[in-house]
Structure 1
């Protein structure tokens, strides 16, 4: 993912899905220890719902 797409992705998480900066930071810390797709980490740790996970993957398909 390019840096500009990544920035838009983080903005989408925060603004459209109302995911807190703290939740994103937690997921990023966990990703350092257990690499994986950020959306899956957010979901695995209960930081997003399955519906939000679907919205994220829909967004990523069009990004």
Structure 2
């Protein structure tokens, strides 16, 4: 459980700090993502809250992370 919350926190920090995604948008996507943090980027994109370019940046970030999965 600790790993999951740490990765989720790091993902949220990346979204807010690097992509300037408002916290309210992230909260909305988390609620729609059925508590699965790995779905967060796709939910943000599906709702038009991030561009395809931003989505690519998120996936690139996720690949570079030492703990590659969010689950």
Give the TM bin, normalised by the shorter chain: 0.7 to 0.9
Q: CA deviation at 1:50?
A: 0.2
- Structure number with greater CO (CA < 8 Å, separation at least 6) is 2
Match of 1:49 in 2: 51
**Which shifted more, 43-52 or 3-12?**
3-12
Any unmatched runs of 5+ in structure 1?
none
> TM-score, length-normalised on structure 2?
0.77
The count of corresponding residues between Structure 1 and Structure 2 is 61
Q: CA deviation at 1:5?
A: 1.9
Any unmatched runs of 5+ in structure 2?
66-71
RMSD: 1.8
List structure 1 runs of 4+ shifted beyond 6 angstroms: none
Using the alignment, how far apart are the partners of 2:59 and 2:23 within structure 1?
19
Using the alignment, how far apart are the partners of 2:57 and 2:39 within structure 1?
15
Using the alignment, how far apart are the partners of 2:33 and 2:50 within structure 1?
15
> TM-score, length-normalised on structure 1?
0.86
